Amino acid sequence: MHKGMAKDRLIVALDYSRKVEALSVAGEIKDHVGLFKVGLQLFSSDGADVVRTLRKEGANVFLDLKLHDIPNTVSNAAVVAAGLGVSMMNFHCLGGKKMLDSAVKEVSDYCAKNSMKKPLLIGVTILTSMAESDMREVGIASSLIDEVRRLAAVAREAGMDGVVASVHEIEAVKRECGNDFLVVTPGIRPLWSRKDDQERVTTPSEAIKRGADFIVIGRPITLAPDKRKAAQEILSEMEPPVCS
C-alpha cells in the first residue's frame, strides 16, 4: 500500500488539446496534486514540450501513452520518456512479457547510469471500456477478472511496479500480486460531481478504502468552476478519518 499523503496519491488528468489550457489548469491546482496525467490527446498536440514545461515548474508527470509495440520500439520510447523526467508511465500488458521485460531493463539501466529516480512503470491490463463480449471478439476466452489477474501477474513478473485497474479489480490484483504492487484507479467521482461518460464510478474515499494506491480524476476537477476548491475537497475525502 502506498504510504504517501493524499496529495501524493492524487493524479489529475490533463485531457486538453492545447498546452496553454493544460498548463493554466496545472498552475492553478499544482499545490493540491501529486501528478498530472498527460495522455494521448495532449501528447498528440504539444507532446514532449508540455512534459518539459510541467517538469520545469516542479510538477510530477504520469505519461499515459499505453505503449504497445515490439520490445525494441517500446523500450526506446520508454527511455526517451524517462529522460523527460516523468514519474510514472504505462504499457499494455498484452504487448507480452518480453516487451515489458525489455522496458523495465532499459529504463532501469538508463536511470541508474544517469543517477535518476526510476519512474514507476505501470501495466494496463484490460481497458475498462471492454466488456467480456469485446474480449471474445479479439479471441480472449477467459473471464474479465481472470484475464486482469493473469495480465497483472505478467506485469509483476516483468518487474513492473503496478497496474491500472478499476476499483472492482483491486482486491483480485492485490491478492495475486501482493499488497505492495501498486494499483492506479480511474473512474472516480465524488458524490457532488456529475458522472459524465463514466458508468461504474466510485468515490475517492471508497477507492482508497478498497486499496487504490493512486486515484486518477479529470473532469470533476478540470471542469469545476473553482478547480482548487474541487481538488481540496477530493483530498479531504481521501484522508482517512482521524481516530481519537
Residues serving a catalytic function are: 66
Cell of 25: 489548469
**Calpha distance 14→184 (Å, rounded):** 16
Question: Position of cell 478499476?
Answer: 166
Least distance (Å) between residue 119 CB and ligand C5P: 18
| Nearest approach, Cβ of residue 187 and ligand C5P (Å) | 5
Question: Residue 130 CB, nearest distance to ligand C5P (Å)?
Answer: 9
H-helix or E-strand spanning residue 38:
strand 35-39
> Whose CB is nearest to ligand C5P?
218
Query: In angstroms, rounded to a whole number, what is the distance separating the alpha carbons of residues 29 and 143?
Result: 40
**Residue 198 lies near ligand C5P (rule: CB under 6 A):** yes
Binding mask 52-91 for ligand C5P (x = CB under 6 A): ----------------------------------------
Q: Which 8-state DSSP code applies to residue 183? A: E
Gap between the Cα atoms of 231 and 244, Å rounded: 26
Whichever of 71 and 167 has its CB closer to ligand C5P, that residue is 167
Rank residues 45 and 198 by Cβ distance to ligand C5P and give the closer one: 198
| C-alpha dihedral sign at 57, 48, 119, 33 | positive
C-alpha 22/C-alpha 241 separation (Å) is: 33
The answer to whether 13 contacts ligand C5P (rule: CB under 6 A) is: yes
Among 88-96, 107-115, 202-210, 216-224, the segment contacting ligand C5P (CB under 6 A): 216-224
Residues at the contact surface with ligand C5P, assessed by CB under 6 A: 13, 15, 39, 127-128, 164, 186-187, 196, 198, 216-219
